[in-house]
Amino acid sequence: MSTTPAKRRWKRVLFESESVVADRKLACCIPIQCGENRPPRVLLVSSRSTPPTGDGDLKKSLVFPKGGWEEYETLDQAAAREAFEEAGVAGRLETPHFAVFEYDSEKKDQGICRNRIVFVYVLHVEVEHDDWPEKDARKRYWMELGDAGHGFLKHDWMRAALDVLLTETNGWTK
């Protein structure tokens, strides 16, 4: 039996430096879009490890585009690249990132737990491509900004990031 507290395996990191120590640094985008006649929307994608069930139930199976920060790119470039690779979107990235989270990633089949630091950005979607690298592995789901998080996002830290976006930045304001 594990002595690790249930569920809360993330914490918001209080520093804003990109020179933090972790097993892996990640970049994450919250892709958003707003039209004149509709409320702001956020784009979620299906997780490769836990796709939605066959009956269409999306509960806790969706994620924001995120992935590793490669040595040859800046953190901003990594965030934009992940949004394109996983969700097929591009646009204007708000810089700097608005939040940083730390969490432990567990590989249950391997019994490995690794520390991750994730830098979270807002991406104002301007282009939604018909073809993208992970098109066959993921589906896109646009949802109203206020409805997106708590019932659908797979990870606690992603729900917390959405809460930060909604409270500290007052939603999509730029």
User: What's the CATH number where 16 sits?
Assistant: 3.90.79.10
Is residue 89 included in any domain, yes or no?
A: yes
Is residue 148 included in any domain, yes or no?
A: yes
Of all residues in the chain, the percent with pLDDT exceeding 70 is: 71
**At 25, which amino acid appears?**
K
Is residue 2 included in any domain, yes or no?
A: no
Is residue 65 included in any domain, yes or no?
A: yes
**At 84, which amino acid appears?**
F
- What local confidence, expressed as pLDDT, does residue 5 receive? 34
Of all residues in the chain, the percent with pLDDT exceeding 90 is: 37
What range does the domain containing 146 cover? 10-168
Is residue 147 included in any domain, yes or no?
A: yes
Is residue 3 included in any domain, yes or no?
A: no
- Whole-model pTM? 0.80
Residues 102 and 116 sit within 8 Å (Cβ to Cβ)? yes
Is residue 43 included in any domain, yes or no?
A: yes
Is residue 25 included in any domain, yes or no?
A: yes
- b/e 120-145 (16+ beta carbons within 10 angstroms → b): bbbbebeebeeebebeeebebbebeb
- Structure confidence by residue, pLDDT tens digits, 65-114: 999 988 899 999 999 999 999 999 999 999 999 998 888 776 655 666 67
Looking at the 3D structure of the chain, how many domains does it have?
Answer: 1
